[in-house]
Amino acid sequence: MDIGISDKDRERIAKGLSHLLADSYALYLKTHGFHWNVTGPMFNTLHLMFMEQYTEQWTALDLIAERIRALGHPAPASYAQFSKLASISEETGTPDAQEMIRQLVAGQEAVARTARKLFPTVDKASDQPTADLLTQRLQVHEKTAWMLRSLLGGEAPGDTPRASRRKGK
- Domains of the chain, CATH where assigned: 14-159 (1.20.1260.10)
Is 80 exceeded by the pLDDT of residue 161?
Answer: no
Q: What is the pTM of this model?
A: 0.89
Tell me what pLDDT residue 91 has: 86
Tell me what pLDDT residue 154 has: 56
Is 70 exceeded by the pLDDT of residue 71?
Answer: yes
**What's the 3-state SS for 62-78?**
HHHHHHHHHCCCCCCCC
